[in-house]
Amino acid sequence: MAGILVVAEPQGSGFRRVGLEILSKARELKDSTGGPLAAFVGGSGVADQAAQLGAYGAEKVFVADHEALGTGLAAPHVDVIAKLQQENDFSAILVGGTAQGRDTAAALAVRLGAGLNSDSTDLAAGGSGLQAVRPAFGGQNLVTSEWVGGPQIALVRPNSFQASESGGSAEVVAVTPDISEAALRAKMTARKPVEEGKVSLEEASIIVSGGRGLGAPENFAVVEALAASLGAAVGASRAAVDAGWYPHPNQVGQTGKTVSPNLYIACGISGAVQHKVGMQTSDVIVAINKDEEAPIFQFADFGVVGDLFDVVPKLTELINQRNG
Amino acid sequence: MKIAVCVKEVPDTTAEKRIDPSTGRLVRDEGDRMLNEFDKYAVEEAVRLKEAGAADEVILISLGPEKAVESLRQGLAMGADRLVLVSDPAAVGSDYLGTAAALSKVLEETGAELALLGSEATDARSGVMAAALGEASGRAWVTSANSLAVSGGSITVERQSDDGVDTVEAPLPAVVSVTKAINEPRYPSLKGIMGAKKKPQDVKSLAEAGVDAAAVGEQGAKTKVVGVETPPARTAGQVVKDEGDGAQQILDFLIEKKIV
C-alpha cells in the first residue's frame, strides 16, 4: 500500500473547496505514506477541469466521466473508487465531508472492509500511516484516532485546512467507469438546484446566524443582508427553526449542523449548550445580543451588547461600502 | 410491508458530555439518556406509512446497552410495534463497520423491505450509517429524504443533496435516511406511553441475533482511538456596549483579524 487518493468533487467548471483544502494538506502528508499524491474526479462532463488539481499538488488525477457520476448519488462513485483502490492499493483515501462525500466514504469503507474516521478536522503522520483528529461534543474533546489495516479512509470537515496552490502539474488518467447495475438502482429523475449565490452552510467560510432575538420570520432579512455583504451562508438557532422562521437545513447546533467557519456572526442568539456545540469550533465568533448576560458572550471573541436591528444593518452598510 | 427503523440511544442533548480519556469512549453512566432526536423523524415517517395502510408492521432495531430499552421505548410510544435490541458486552466499541454489519443482520431477520434511519445521531454526528447499512445489506439506498412516497415495489424520495433538492426513485428493498424536513414527530400520548411497555422488546445477544462476534466490538473495529484531549475552553473575548458605534467596532475587529 502506498500513496494518498484525495476525492475532489467537481463543482461547475472547478471544484468544491474542501477537495482543494485536503489536497493542500495531503502535500505535507505524502512523505509519510510514500507513493504518489493522487486525486479522483468523478462527474458528468468533468474531463476538462481535472488538470486544475495539479496546481494543488496532485501528481496524478484519475478522472471518470459518466452521467451517473453527476447525480449527487454516491453508489456509482463507490464502484469506481473501489476498482481504483484494487488497482492502485492506496494507503489512504481522503474525502471531503459533503453530503455526497459522506455517503461515498461510508459505503466505500464497508465495501473495502476498511476503517473510516469521520468528521476529521486534522490529519497527521503517525501510527501506521495517518492519524485523524475529530472534535467530539462540539470541540469539548479532541479525539485522535488511527486505523487498523488499510486503506485508511477519512472524511474531512470543510474549512479544516487552507487551500493553497503549489504550482505543480498533474498527469491526467482517464478511467473507464465500470458501474454495476446495483449502483444504478437509485436514480435521480429531477433536480431543483439551490438558488444562485447561496452558500452551503457546512462549506461556508463565513456564517451569519439568527436566533430568537429576531422576533419574527421576516426579520431574517436583516441577517440575510449581512450574509450577502460578506458572501456568507445563513444559519439559524434551534429556537428560530422550531418557531418556523427559517428552514431546517439551516439549523446550527446539537440537533442541526455542526460548522467550523472562519467567522461566525451570531445575531440575537443566546448561545445555550445546544447551539454552542454546533459552532464553537469556528475560528472567530462575533455576537450581537441585547442581553449582556447571554451565555454567548462567555465564548465569543468579540461581543456587542445592543439592539441587533441597529447594529446589524449598520454593519452591513459598512461592509458594503468597504466592498465598494 | 414491514418497515424497520434503526434507532439509537444517545446522551441528553441538553447535558454536557465527556469522553473517558482512558478508554476513548463516551462516558455512558452520566446523566439522562434519550432516543436520538433525528430518529424520531424516521419513526414518525414509518408510523405514518403504517397509518396510511402502506405498511403493516414497524420494527425498531438497535445496537446498544441493555438499558437503552428505556429510551428506545419512546419509539414504541409513538406507534412502532416492537423493538429488537442487540446488546452484548462483545459489541461494545463497535465502529461504523461493526454497527452496520450487526444492523444489517438484524434487518435481514425482520424481513422488512424498507429500513429508515435518522440523518445522523446527536452524539457521533457523522451521518454515515444509512450509506454504510445500504452497502452492508446490499440494498438500494438513498440519504437525506425530505419526503418519501412508497408505491408498488418502489420508493420516490425528494432528497437534500449538496446542489439542491433532487427527486430520486429506487426499488425496494431499500435503506433511506430522513431529514428533519420530512415531518413533525408526534408527542407520544399517555395511552401510547402506557401501551409501549406491553409491546415486545427483545434484547438479543450477538449469538441470538446471528451476528458474527468477530465483525463487531473492539475486536472487529478498523479504527481505534489513541488519544483524547480536552482543549482549553473558549474564553470570553472583548464585549462592548453599543453606543452607536457597535457596528464600526465589529468592522475594526474583523479588519484586525484580517477577515475582511
Model pLDDT for residues A94-107, shown as the tens digit of each residue = 999 999 999 999 99
Query: How far apart are the CA of B204 and the nearest CA of chain A, in angstroms?
Result: 24
Question: With an 8 Å Cβ cutoff, are A116 and B97 in contact?
Answer: yes
Task: pLDDT tens for chain B, 260 residues: list them.
Answer: 999 999 999 988 766 666 777 777 766 555 688 999 999 999 999 999 999 999 999 999 999 999 999 999 999 999 999 999 999 999 999 999 999 999 999 999 999 999 999 999 988 888 999 999 999 999 999 999 999 999 989 999 999 998 889 999 999 999 999 999 999 999 999 999 999 999 999 999 999 999 999 999 999 999 999 999 988 888 999 999 999 999 999 999 999 999 98
Total count of residues recorded for chain B? 260
In the block, residue with C-alpha cell 461566525: A264
Place of cell 444509512: B130
Residues within 8 A of B (CB atoms), A 271-290 only: 273-274, 280, 284-286, 288
Chain B residues 89-148 within an 8 A CB cutoff of chain A: 95-97, 100, 122-132, 134-136, 138, 140-144
Question: Does the residue B33 lie in any domain?
Answer: yes
Q: Does B19 touch chain A if contact means CB atoms closer than 8 Å? A: yes
User: What span, in angstroms and rounded, lies between the C-alpha atoms of B197 and B185?
Assistant: 20
> Left if phi > 0, otherwise alpha if psi is -120 to 50, otherwise beta: which for B53?
left
Q: How far apart are CA B132 and CA A153, in angstroms?
A: 13
Interchain pair B19, A314: CB under 8 A: no
DSSP class of residue B41 equals H
CA distance B81 to chain A (A): 26
Nearest CA in chain B to A97: B126
Residue B16's pLDDT is what?
61
Maximum mean pLDDT: which of A132-146, A271-285, A306-320: A306-320
Work out the minimum CA distance from B64 to partner chain A, whole angstroms: 19
Give the residue from chain A lying closest to B167, CA to CA.
A190
Q: Identify the CATH homologous superfamily for domain A206-323.
A: TPP-binding domain (3.40.50.1220)
A110–B132 C-beta distance less than 8 A: yes
Q: B14 vs chain A: nearest CA distance in angstroms?
A: 6
CA distance B79 to B72: 12
Does A297 contact chain B (CB < 8 Å)?
A: yes
Please, are residues A53 and A148 in contact by the beta-carbon 8 Å criterion? no
A206-323 has the same fold as A4-184? yes
CB within 8 Å: A102 and B181: no
Show residues of chain A in contact with B120, CB under 8 Å: none
Mode of pairing for the β-strands spanning A37-43 and A4-7: parallel
Q: Please report the pLDDT score of residue A31 as a whole number.
A: 79
Task: Assess contact for B93 and B25: CB atoms under 8 A.
Answer: yes
CB pairs under 8 A between A and B: 273
Domain count, chain B: 1
pLDDT of residue B30: 54
Mean pLDDT for A49-61 is 97
Contact in structure between B141 and A106 (CB atoms under 8 Å): no
Task: Output the nine-digit C-alpha cell for A110.
Answer: 464497508
Among the partner-chain residues A145, A155, A182, the one whose CB lies closest to the CB of B226 is A145
Q: Can you tell me the mean pLDDT for A115-138? A: 92
C-alpha cell at B10: 444517545
Which of B234, B238, B240, B249 best probes binding to A when mutated, by most A CB atoms within 10 angstroms?
B234
pLDDT at B124: 83
Minimal Cα–Cα distance from A252 to chain B, Å? 12
DSSP run (H or E) holding A155: strand A152-156
Q: Does the distance separating the beta carbons of A146 and B97 come in below 8 Å?
A: no
- Contact criterion met (CB below 8 Å) for A144 and A47: no
Report yes or no: A122 and A133 within 8 Å, Cβ to Cβ: yes
Q: Label the pairing between strands B9-11 and B82-86.
A: unpaired
Q: Among partner residues B131, B169, B253, which is closest to A302 by beta-carbon distance?
A: B253
- The pLDDT tens digits of the residues spanning A129-184 come to 999 999 987 788 899 999 999 999 999 999 999 999 998 999 999 999 999 999 99
Does A251 sit within 8 Å of B180, measured CB to CB?
A: yes
CA A13 to chain centre: 18
pLDDT over 70, % of chain A: 99
Judge whether A231 is closer than 8 Å to chain B, CB to CB. Answer: no
Task: Give domain limits for chain A.
Answer: 4-184, 206-323
Domain of B197 in residue numbering reads as: 2-220
Report the CATH number that the domain containing residue B105 is assigned in CATH. 3.40.50.620
- A206 vs B: CB within 8 A: yes
CATH superfamily of A4-184: HUPs (3.40.50.620)
Distance (Å) from the alpha carbon of A138 to chain B's nearest alpha carbon: 10
CB neighbour list of residue A220: distance below 8 Å, 6 or more residues apart: A210, A214, A234, A236, A240, A245, A246
Q: Which residues contact A111 (CB under 8 A, 6 or more apart)?
A: A78, A82, B135
Confidence (pLDDT) at A127: 81
* Residue where the block lists cell 445563513: A234
Tell me whether B52 touches chain A (CB under 8 Å). no
**One-letter amino acid identity for A10?**
P
A98 in B contact zone (CB under 8 Å): yes
Q: Which of residues 151-170 of B touch A (CB under 8 A)?
A: 159-170
**Category of B256 on φ-ψ map: left (φ > 0), alpha (ψ -120 to 50) or beta:** alpha
Given an 8 Å threshold on Cβ–Cβ distance, is A314 in contact with B247?
yes
Cβ contact, residue pair A142, B231, below 8 Å: yes
Return the half-sphere exposure (C-beta side, CA atoms, 13 A cut-off) of residue B120.
19
CB-CB under 8 Å, B233 with A302: no
- What is the arithmetic mean of pLDDT over A37-55? 97
Instruction: Indicate the pairing of strand A129-136 with strand A141-147.
Output: antiparallel
Report yes or no on B231 lying in a domain.
Answer: no
Q: What is the pTM of this model?
A: 0.92
Q: What is the mean pLDDT of residues A277-285?
A: 94
Phi-psi domain of B177 (left: phi exceeds 0; alpha: psi -120 through 50; beta: other)? beta
A196 pLDDT tier (thresholds 50, 70, 90): low
